[in-house]
Amino acid sequence: MAEKVLEQLRIKLKEGLTEAVIKNLLDDLRDEKVLGKEEIEEIVQKTKTRADQARDLIDGVSRKGTKASEIMLKCLKDRDNCLYDNLNIDSCLEIPETGATCSPAPTPHSTTDKQNKLVSGDEVYKMHSNPRGLCVIINNENFPDPKSKRNGSQKDVDSLNDLFEHLGFLVEVEKDKTADQIKALMIQYSEDARHGDCFVCCIMSHGNEAGLMGCDDQICPLNDITSPFDGDNCPALVGKPKVFIIQACRGHKMQTKVVVKDGAGVSHMKKSGKVYSIAKDSDFLIALSTVEGYVSLRSEYSGSWFIQSFCKHLKEGSEQGQDILRILTHVNNEVSLEEGFIQDKNNEIVDAKMIPQPQFTLRKLLIFKAPKRHAAASKQKKT
C-alpha cells in the first residue's frame, strides 16, 4: 500500500521536497538500510537538480516495495510534518486497496474557487509592484579593534544582494555605519518615496542583549531600527509587510548540544469599500539569527550559518510558492543541525550550535514572488 501512495503522490512530493529534507531522508534511509551508499551517491550527483534528486529518491524507494516505502513515509513525517500533512498521507495509507486514489488535504492551492479567492485576496499580502520594494543591506564589517573585523560577511552581502534582486527588489547596500548613522538611515528610508508592496532591511553586525553594534562600538537598540516603520511613522507601509533580517550575536553564551531521538486573524472582517483599522505594530517580521543571550556563528570563508541558509531556502521556497514562515521553519531546522567548533573566551574548543528565532506580527501569508522576467531568465538558465 505504501509504495502505491508514493506513486500516487509522486509529482507533489517531487515539488515539495526541499534539498535539506532530501538530504535528511537519505541519511535516515541509509541508517534504516533501505538505501545503500552507492544508491545514495547516484541520487545526489552534483549534475542533478533538486527535482531530479527527489524523483530518483521516490522511485528508488517505491521499487523496493511496501516495507521500504513505509519507512520513507515515516521518515518524511518526522522530517517535514507540514508537507506530510498537506498531502494527507495518513488518510491515504488508510484507504483500502480498491483502486481509489487519495487526494491531498485542502491547501490554498488546491481548494474550491471560493477558498482560492479568499487565500489569494484577503489572506496573502499583495506582491505585484515593480520593483517589489526597497531592500536595504547594512553590513558592519570593520570596528575600532581590528580583531573584531567580521571576516566573511561580504559573502552574506553578495548572497542577499543576489537573492533580493532576483525577487524584484531595489537593493541598496550600506557599509560600516555607526549606531547613530543606523538610526538616521532607518528614519531616512521610512520616509523614502520609492516604497512598493514590501520593505526589507538586512543588518549584519556584532551585537548583544541590548541591540546591534555600530562600527563605533555603540549599541543601536532593535526598537530604534523597527519603530520608524510602524503605522504612525511610515504611512506608506501601513498594511504592508516590513521584514528585518538580523545577523548578530545577542549575548556571549554558547548554545549546548542535545541529542534528539527519532519520533521525538481579522481579514474576514474586511468588507469591500469599508475602512477598517489595524494595530500600528502590525505586519512586521523580524528574523533574528539566534535567541537572546547567545552568540551567532559565522564562517570566515562561507559567511554566516543563518544568512546562507536563509538565502538558499527563500530562493527555493519562493519558486514553490511557500510562505515565509514555512521557509524560516526550514531555516531553523537546517541551522540547528549544523555542526562546528569554536574557541570560547577561555580559549577552550567547544561545540558550536545555534538556532535562529523569528518574531512576527504578520496578519497574512507573506509569499515572495519573483517578477516574470526573473522567473523566465531562471528557467532559461536551467535549460
Residue 126 belongs to some domain of the structure: no
Residue 29 belongs to some domain of the structure: yes
Residue 249 designated active-site: yes
Is residue 147 domain-shared with residue 76, that is, in the same domain? no
Residue 260 belongs to some domain of the structure: no
pTM above 0.75, yes or no: no
Is residue 100 domain-shared with residue 147, that is, in the same domain? no
Q: How many CB atoms lie within 10 A of CB 149?
A: 13
Instruction: Please report the sign of the dihedral spanned by the C-alpha atoms of residue 314, residue 320, residue 324, residue 327.
Output: negative
Q: Which of 75, 92, 102, 249 is catalytic?
A: 249
Looking at 105, 123, 148, the residue that finishes a domain is 105
Residue 118 belongs to some domain of the structure: no
CATH number of the domain that 29 lies in?
1.10.533.10
Give the model confidence (pLDDT) of 186-220 as tens digits. Answer: 999 999 999 999 999 999 999 999 999 999 999 99
Looking at 105, 125, 159, the residue that finishes a domain is 105
Is residue 230 domain-shared with residue 314, that is, in the same domain? yes
Distance of CA 8 to the CA centre of its chain: 28
Give the model confidence (pLDDT) of 263-284 as tens digits. Answer: 544 444 444 455 666 688 899 9
Residue 59 belongs to some domain of the structure: yes
Q: Which of 92, 166, 195, 206 is catalytic?
A: 206
Is residue 92 domain-shared with residue 154, that is, in the same domain? no
CA dist., res. 239 & res. 252, Å (int): 36
Is residue 167 domain-shared with residue 64, that is, in the same domain? no
Residue 261 belongs to some domain of the structure: no
Q: Say how many CA atoms lie within 13 Å of 336 toward its Cβ.
A: 14
Copy the grid coordinates of residue 34.
533501505
Residue 123 belongs to some domain of the structure: no
Give the model confidence (pLDDT) of 139-190 as tens digits. Answer: 999 999 999 999 989 999 999 999 999 999 999 999 999 999 999 999 999 9
Is residue 183 domain-shared with residue 83, that is, in the same domain? no
CATH number of the domain that 326 lies in?
3.40.50.1460
Is residue 362 domain-shared with residue 296, that is, in the same domain? yes
Query: What's the whole-number mean pLDDT along residues 337-345?
Result: 73
Confidence at residue 175, expressed as pLDDT on a 0 to 100 scale: 97
Is residue 151 domain-shared with residue 199, that is, in the same domain? yes
Residue 125 belongs to some domain of the structure: no
- Domain range for residue 226? 133-251+277-382
Is residue 169 domain-shared with residue 90, that is, in the same domain? no
Residue 206 designated active-site: yes
Number of domains in the chain: 2
Is residue 208 domain-shared with residue 349, that is, in the same domain? yes
